[in-house]
Structure 1
Amino acid sequence: MASLGKIIFWSMIILIVVFTAALILILALTLSGSQSDVESSNRSPIANLGKDVLLSCYIRSSSEAGAQASIVAITWRKEGLSGLVYQYQNGAANLENQNLGFRGRTELLPDAITSGNASLLLRSVRKSDDGVYSCEVISSSGGGTVSIHLRTAAFSETNFTTTKDILIADGARWLPKPNVTWLDHDGNILNGTTTLSPNFVGIFHVVSTLQPVTVRGTYTCRIENDLVTANSEATLTGSGVSARTYFIFSAAASTLTSTYLNIMTSVLCVCYLT
């Protein structure tokens, strides 16, 4: 009985040791996989169709290595795509295996590569560019991979005109299909009339009118869909309309709660009350 007890005891000790070792190994592999030296400042960007977008990817700087790591290779891929989006090797672009859909539309920032920046400039964004991209970087001091989910939309600044007691808001390009809301200076919802006209590729032209409005009054026209919101504030002056628009982008799966457009636009409409 004593020998059987010892066998059970030592068997349990061995199992505990094996289990602990396996747990440590799993944790080590998990941590090593999550501690990539490659990051992105925006992992869920929204690109405006027909415009250019920069997909952020860079080597994380540290007090030890800094940002002086020499990049050996950069490879951009898109999930579900045959061929590569872009590849950089041995100090130059290697586009032999580049997918034809990205030919002539992609480039890195040559002056930024030496500082560990592997961001990709994608020109003339198409609806088909929507998807998940991966940026893999190999450098002299480390490397890794980061995923970026690019979403595409069409959005434009709101222009205003006015005649008599009517205020007209015009949004030239919107996709997906948006909703329009008018608000007064206190944030109360007003009744406006909106027309959405799709063009041959399905992008909507938004025209919305508000009536009646008063001189010196301030009104907000909000055009929004699941990806982008344009808040446009218009103040009727004695000689026209003073307006400004700012955009809010949906963060979706990103860790950001919202992203604001860097540029606040101000427009003075040369239109007169009659």
Structure 2
Amino acid sequence: SVSTGAALYPHSFCLHPAHFSQFTVTGPDHPITTSVGGEAVLPCHLSPRMSAENMEVRWFRFQYHSVVHLYQEGQDKYEEQMLEYRGRTELLKDGITNGSVSLRIYQVQLSDHGQYTCFFQYGIFYEEAILELMVSAIGSDPHISVDGHQDGGIRIVCQSAGWHPEPEAQWRDHHGQLLSSASEKISKETNGLFRTQISIVITEDSNQNLSCFVRNPLINQEKISTVFIAGQCPSTLHWEWCDPTLIGHAEWGATIFKRAPPCPHQVPFLKARRGRAACPIRYQTKPHVVLSQCRIGDKGLKQRTNRFNTR
């Protein structure tokens, strides 16, 4: 963005309208995006091109004295820098003779999200540009669980935490078709990140794949968990899954793990079947769980589902 430099700051000098034509300050006309823990580079330069070596270059947040980084008298000055930015900023001076002074922020925090002002001053002339930094966070893998009976069916819940900004969550069937959620809830946690929870009610005779998608709308990245709803339940059942180092199989009373030869790197599509445990044939690359809708009561459903969600 480009500014005319008309803002007032708590230092005294007179400005003549002709002074505004000496140079302008330009930044990107779109937000800069980055992730929590990553780095961000905020570009800023003079137009027309001229050296900024002998200028004051001040990056600040909410007001003139909220200094993120200060370059003055040919060197970086840290006395006025806000504590939360100490040791995390760098003024990139490779292009300073051409008026380019981008700001790099290391170890980006959620609190870094927002507007930044790039301010140049030379003598009594000054100009500024306002930039926006948008910080994103990708949350946890969606956790799918059974939450009892509702409206004549089984209530399935999907939840995920650690997102920024507010995520979008939805259910889809094995064809990728959108399914209506029975409930949706988004809450902000004490760390400033968001938690989402959605639920769906399925019939007890369902026999299908059900996927929970949680997406960050800022960077268009998502996480997916898939569940297989088994409508029938044999009297003796082995629950199986496989990862690169373990095969686990569980019967009603206990869970037993044993070492096994490495399975393919993909996370398998979990299924319930009789007989000897082995790596399942069908695979998916997403987190997984198997639910069985036998008429044995909510408690049994929760116990067997949680066993897989916590392993």
TM-score by length of 2: 0.46
Give the C-alpha shift of residue 189 in structure 1: 2.6
Question: 1:221·1:231 contact (CA, 8 Å) conserved in 2?
Answer: no
Matched with 1:72 is 54
Distance 1:197 1:271 in 2: 32
Tell me, yes or no, if structure 1 residue 180 matches structure 2 residue 172: no
SS at match of 1:145: strand
Where do 5+ consecutive residues of structure 2 fail to align?
Answer: 1-15, 146-155, 227-240, 243-264, 272-311
1:203 to 171, 193, 202: 193
CA change 1:34–1:208 in 2 (3 A) is farther
CA change 1:172–1:234 in 2 (3 A) is closer
Matched with 2:92 is 109
Deviations 1:6-27, CA, capped at 9 Å, x for gaps:
xxxxxxxxxxxxxxxxxxxxxx
Give the C-alpha shift of residue 143 in structure 1: 7.2
1:191 to 166, 180, 185: 180
Letter in 2 for 1:204: F
Question: 2:215·2:223 contact (CA, 8 Å) conserved in 1?
Answer: no
Tell me, yes or no, if structure 1 residue 121 matches structure 2 residue 104: yes
SS at match of 1:88: strand
Tell me, yes or no, if structure 1 residue 56 matches structure 2 residue 48: no
Deviations 1:78-135, CA, capped at 9 Å, x for gaps:
2236452211134421222222232222111243434532111223334443443211
Higher relative contact order (CA 8 A, sep 6+): 1
More helix by share: 1
Matched positions, count: 202
Letter in 2 for 1:53: A
Tell me, yes or no, if structure 1 residue 95 matches structure 2 residue 78: yes
2:213 to 211, 214, 221: 221
Where do 5+ consecutive residues of structure 1 fail to align?
Answer: 1-27, 241-267
TM-score by length of 1: 0.51
CA change 1:123–1:208 in 2 (3 A) is farther
CA change 1:234–1:70 in 2 (3 A) is same
Moved over 4 A (4+): 32-36, 157-163, 167-172, 183-188, 192-200, 205-215, 233-236
